[in-house]
Amino acid sequence: MNRMRQNKIDEWLVTSPSLIWLLVFFLVPTIIVFIIAFKPADPYGGFGTGWTLDNFRAFENTNFPLMLWRTIWLSLVTTMICIFLSVPTAYQLTRISPRWRKLLLLMIVIPFWTSFLVRIFAWKTILHPEGLIKKILVFLNLASPETSLLYSSGAVLLVMVYTFLPFSILPIYAAAEKFDFRLLEAARDLGARSLQAFFRIFIPNISRGILTAVLMVFIPALGSYVIPDIIGGPDSEMLGNKIAQRTFVDRNLPQASWLSAVLILALLIPMILNLYLRSRRLGKHSLLKEGR
Amino acid sequence: MEEFLKFDHVSKRFGKIQAVKEVSLSIKKGEFFSLLGPSGCGKTTLLRILAGFEHPDQGRVFLDGQDITDLPPNQRKVNTVFQNYALFPHLTVWHNIAFGLQVAHRPKKEINEEVQRMLELIQMESQADYKPHQISGGQKQRVAIARALINKPRVLLLDEPLAALDLKLRQRLLMELDLIHDEVGLTFLYVTHDQGEAMSISDHIAVMNQGTIEQLGSPVEIYEAPCSSFVAAFIGDTNFFEGKVKDIINQDYSRIEIEDFSDVVCFNDKQLTPGHPVYLSIRPEKFRISRQPPEMQHNLNVVPARVEEVIYLGSHTKYWVRVNGYRLEINQQHSRFFLDEKPILWEEEIWISWMADDGFMLDRYSEVDENLIPAPPEEMGEDLNGKPGNDTGKQNQLQRNQPGGSNQ
Amino acid sequence: MRRSRFPMLMTMGVLIFFYLPILMLVIYSFNASRFGGQWMGFTFAWYEQLLHHYEIWSSLEKTLIIALTATAVSIVMGTLAAFALHQYKGWLQNVHFALVYAPLVVPEVLMGMSLLLFFVSIGMKLGLFTIFLAHVMFCISYVTMVVLSRLQDFDFGLIEAAQDLGASRWEATRRVLLPLLMPGIAAGGLLAFTLSIDDFVISFFVAGPGSTTLPIRIYSMIKHGSPTLINALSTILLLVTFVLVWLSQRLTEERHR
């Protein structure tokens, strides 16, 4: 049928620009990561010919497993803290009047619009040994003049939570907004206490939002580079800045590539889970919401 | 009047569902024609085929002699008033109305004049610069009508245009539509599921069910002479009976034998012979209900009954009465009210009567159609027509009894 | 009914948490002391120094060029992609969607790393152009998602109405769809622009010598430079951001009038 063929041609025409661009600049590079991971390093910082497992062996006896574990662990804890802080906040947001709500949402989102580096630098300043917070803590006798707030896993965790909190609040708020609060009234009418109603009715009904928040925090957190780089010290090294170190300091692309491959693999599980849940929620044949 | 708009054996399917099955239909120029039926009956699909948004799998559509089946919507001289108005939110009322003429690249002067004329027609000159979100539902509907009419289409299609409005506004706008139709003289094709709307302003109605036309006729024909149980039950209420011709009384009347009911005298318009199965439809308002048996007349059917439900509605009262296994609906108009007259109440033994001419023979009958008539339940858990949620074998309004008689 | 105060306290706490560092930054930028531990007097000195810092302005220029061009290209491609994803269904669009969606969830380190390897493999010289290519790549995803969500909420009955009144598909798109979609496209563009201006990690990986964008400059200043200059610069950037956000809010509100 002529109409159907024309339709197919139209579809390819409209889809091609973005499709090709993303294939070339996203998919192909990702595949190349896996390829280079098995190539030997070249003294000029590039890679030589042939294949090798040297990159794999280079990490066998180091503290690589520890670093990997720390990356996963810090990301997990960040995620959990973010969720814990987001749920009451999102709940509160839905309880206040629309006028205030708009303002508060804006206030939560604005830091997201400011420069990422600026915010991290701000923390670096605050946590600086001669900075304000340290002075306060020393004053309150909670810390000695020698302790460094910076360059520790704790500091990294703090700044990670700071950075990813908006990504966690927004999806949970979106889910909470759709929640029918009369359900809570009904629960209380039937005798439930506030806290019971909260956990039995509210939380399960926003579980999708919570899941989205988990994925929106955990996956980028795994790949953190700048935060551990600026705020963290040698013993709070994460996979992200290890990759950067191999690339820029050691000029060893294949090893960096290998590390990247590990990160990709570590990410695959939550990502595939996400796509699967999306497709299950939205119908079998499409990953998108039905438009028409 | 000649055939102006014609559907010729039009069929359309969506996936597994046959939305329209071989529909053929002719509409005369200038008439107000309605497609009436429940949701899913295919009326909207038929409308969209005419407008050009769907292409029929089979069949052709003719407008004023021209085959328009393959024309895209923007090349047909047909305009639609949509159910949710579909006004362009980014344009003012003025620009919404002017849209069709602007797209046709008409000269500015003509556009200005025409839009002004339309604004006067719908009495919204002072709201010309308003945006759709600033006007009320009724006003939006008028703008939608003006927007369509300004293009002087050969047919104006209206797709359930009043569905989104509340009752009083609906009645009001319906009358306005009628006025506009008379003034403008166009052919209107009106799609609705509301029988009241269709009956009150249409010249002709096509009653549709599951993709086909059950009956086509004037409102009176459809109401008084339904040809199928669907039409009888969808429009207004009725009582159904199934029986056999027992004998012929004279050339016009015959006696019908109905199981578990008395014999009934009926107008024999189909000239059926004895032994032939018959389905009868008798509308509730054709019955008379009284405490004393009425005077016997020839061609008057009289049956004793017991009142089961009474619903007082002010201008009339609905009764559900029981005759053996049958539960009949009866409407009594209160044209005169006597304070000291005792109203007929539950459990009373009364007499019902009706003229033989008032029973109408149906061409087609299906038990399913009885579900279209709402009746008070006899028990909690019964579905709409008395069929039980669990099987305790309860009776329904028209009951072909279980052998052995009623089992309450 | 006794309402728990906890959610309100939490919300307030979160807000304070968000704004504390920003506030401190602004205050320190006026502080004559180098480390902000002590207040040594109010001064504009750092701002003055900033004005004379040639490299910062040249970085800003590079950043803006890339942001503007990348936004322009990604708006066009992203809108097209959104149309395709909305209009068509099937395996092609599923693949398409996966490719559009993935950059949104993949950490920047990975994207930067893979692009670096890619450019090195094909022998392309690193520089502003490679940054541009990389930025378009992730901007497409954001623009597409924003425009797509607007399309999904769009009432296509309006297009039918336009056609019913005589407009061809193209005219209906031009007169009805695009005007109503424009706020969504603008929002996507604004998002892309912001992300491009602010991007550090990916730019850092694919930048060549001499193609330091502003974030890259800031990074090296953080690592090796004077904190006071960064304070002043940060405050200016914050101010610009606030103004932009306020502007975009006014714009979206006006359309609803």
Range scoring the smallest mean pLDDT among B28-42, B93-107, B340-354: B340-354
Mean pLDDT score of chain B: 86
Determine the Cα–Cα distance for residues B347 and B369; give it in Å rounded to an integer. Answer: 28
- Widest CA span in chain C: 73
Min Cα–Cα distance to chain C from A92, Å: 5
A235-248: average pLDDT: 86
- What's the pLDDT at B401? 33
The pLDDT confidence band at residue B1, using thresholds 50, 70 and 90, is: very low
Written as one letter, the residue type at A274 is N
Q: Which chains pack against C, by 3+ Cβ pairs within 8 A? A: A, B
pLDDT attached to residue C27: 79
Tell me, which fold does domain A65-235 have in CATH? MetI-like fold (1.10.3720)
Please tell me whether residue A146 adopts helix, strand or coil conformation: coil
pLDDT at B405 over 50: no
Helices A2-22 + C128-152 axis angle, to 10: 140
- What pLDDT is attached to residue B222? 93
The answer to whether C78 faces chain A, any CB pair under 8 Å, is yes
Report chain A's mean pLDDT, rounded to a whole number.
82
pLDDT interval class at C254 (50, 70, 90): low
Q: Which of A275-289, B213-227, C80-94, C137-151 has the lowest mean pLDDT?
A: A275-289
The verdict on a CB contact (< 8 Å) between C167 and B103 is yes
Residue of C nearest to A16 (CA): C81
The domain segmentation of chain B, as residue ranges, is 3-225, 230-372
Task: Return the half-sphere exposure (C-beta side, CA atoms, 13 A cut-off) of residue B231.
Answer: 29
Per-residue pLDDT of C123-145, as tens digits, reads 888 989 999 999 999 999 999 99
Q: Is C107 on the interface with B (CB under 8 A)?
A: no
Residue C38's pLDDT band (cuts 50, 70, 90): low
Taking an 8 Å cut-off on Cβ atoms, the answer to whether C164 and B104 are in contact is no
A261/B351 Cα distance (integer angstroms): 91
C244 contacts in chain A (CB < 8 Å)? 113
Give me the percent of chain C exceeding a pLDDT of 70. 92
Query: pLDDT confidence of A145, banded at 50, 70, 90?
Result: low
Q: Which residue has the higher pLDDT, A221 or B381?
A: A221
CA distance C65 to chain A (A): 18
Split at pLDDT 50, 70, 90, the class of B189 is: very high
Using a CB-CB cut-off of 8 Å, the residues of chain B touching C162 are 88, 99, 103
How is residue C217 written in tokens? 């400059």
- Predicted local distance difference test score (pLDDT) of residue B249: 84
Please give the pLDDT value at position A238: 87
pLDDT of residue C112: 93
Confidence band, pLDDT 50/70/90 cuts, at residue B67: very high
Average of pLDDT values for C66-93? 93
Q: Which of B88, B143, B149 is most worth mutating to test chain C (most C CB atoms within 10 A of its CB)?
A: B88
Helix orientation angle between C6-29 and A64-95, rounded to the nearest 10 degrees: 110
In our burial notation (b when 16+ CB lie closer than 10 A, e otherwise), range B165-174 reads beeeebeebb
- B34-48, C53-67, C91-105, C242-256: which range is least confident on average? C242-256
**Confidence tier at B408 by pLDDT (50, 70, 90):** very low
The tokens describing C172, both together, are: 């209906």
- Mean of all residue pLDDT scores within chain C: 85
Nearest to A170 by CA among A99, A110, A227: A110
Q: What are A119-131's pLDDT values in tens digits?
A: 888 888 888 776 6
* Domain B3-225 in CATH 3.40.50.2300: no
Within 10 angstroms of residue B203's Cβ, the number of other Cβ atoms is 16
Tell me the C-alpha to C-alpha distance, in Å, between residue A73 and each of A167, A236, A264: 19, 11, 17
Q: Is the pLDDT of residue C194 over 50?
A: yes
pLDDT above 60: residue B54: yes
- Contact map slice: B 28-57 vs C, CB within 8 A: 51-53
CATH (residue range B230-372): 2.40.50.100
Q: Stretch A203-215: mean pLDDT, rounded?
A: 85
| pLDDT above 70 (res C56) | yes
Q: Please indicate whether the domains covering B3-225 and B230-372 agree at the CATH topology level.
A: no
**What pTM does this model have?**
0.78
- The secondary element (H helix, E strand) that includes residue C119 is helix C108-121
pLDDT bracket for residue B247 (50, 70, 90): confident
The beta-carbon neighbor of C99 closest among A22, A115, A132 is A22
- Gap between the Cα atoms of A257 and C205, Å rounded: 13
One-character DSSP codes across A238-278: -HHHHHHIIIIIS--HHHHHHHHHHHHHHHHHHHHHHHHHH
User: Residue A121: its chain C contacts at CB < 8 A?
Assistant: 25, 218, 222, 227, 230, 234
Nearest residue of C to residue B82, measured between CA atoms: C161
Task: Report the amino acid identity of residue C35.
Answer: F
Amino acid at B132: P
Chain A contacts in chain C segment 205-244 (CB below 8 A): 205, 215, 218-219, 222-223, 227, 230-231, 234, 237-238, 241-242, 244
Closest alpha carbon within chain C to B97:
C165
Its ipTM equals 0.84
Nearest residue to B215 via CA among B404, B22, B36, B30: B36
Q: Which domains does chain C have, with CATH numbers?
A: 54-225 (1.10.3720.10)
C-alpha A186/C-alpha A184 separation (Å) is 5
Asked whether A105 and A93 are in contact (CB, 8 A), the reply is yes
pLDDT at res. A146:
63
DSSP three-state, residue C95: helix
Residue B42 and residue A186: Cα distance in Å, rounded? 41
Return residues 141-180 of C near A (CB < 8 Å).
141, 144, 148, 151-152, 156
Taking a C-beta distance cutoff of 8 angstroms, is the pair C217, C59 a contact?
yes
When pLDDT is cut at 50, 70 and 90, the band that residue A46 belongs to is: low
- Give the pLDDT band (50/70/90) at residue C252: low
Q: Which residue has the higher pLDDT, C246 or A158?
A: A158
Q: How far is CA C75 from CA A12, A135, B194, C95, in A?
A: 19, 48, 47, 21
Residues from chain C that touch B79, judged by Cβ atoms under 8 A, are: 164-165
C129 part of contact set with chain A, CB < 8 Å: no
Is residue A144 pLDDT above 80, yes or no? no
User: How many angstroms away from the CA of B185 is the closest CA of chain C?
Assistant: 20
Write out pLDDT tens, residues B109-122.
999 999 999 999 88
Helix (H) or strand (E) holding C183: helix C178-198
Contact A194 C148 (CB under 8 A): no
AA identity, residue C243: V
Q: What pLDDT, on a 0 to 100 scale, did the predictor assign at position C253?
A: 63
B254 in helix, strand or coil?
A: strand
Is B336 exposed, middle or buried (CB count within 10 Å of its CB: 0-12, 13-18, 19+)?
exposed
* Disruptive mutation site among B99, B105, B115 for chain C (greatest number of C CBs within 10 Å): B99
Paired with B353 in beta bridges are B288, B302
Of C158, C168, C176, the CB nearest to B74: C168
CA A100 centroid distance within chain: 29
Residues C128 and A268 sit within 8 Å (Cβ to Cβ): no
DSSP string, B123-181: T-GGGTT--GGGS-HHHHHHHHHHHHHTT--SEEEEESTTTTS-HHHHHHHHHHHHHHH
Query: What confidence tier does B399 reach under pLDDT thresholds 50, 70, 90?
Result: very low
Q: Quick one: average pLDDT of A154-180?
A: 89
| Domain limits, chain A | 65-235
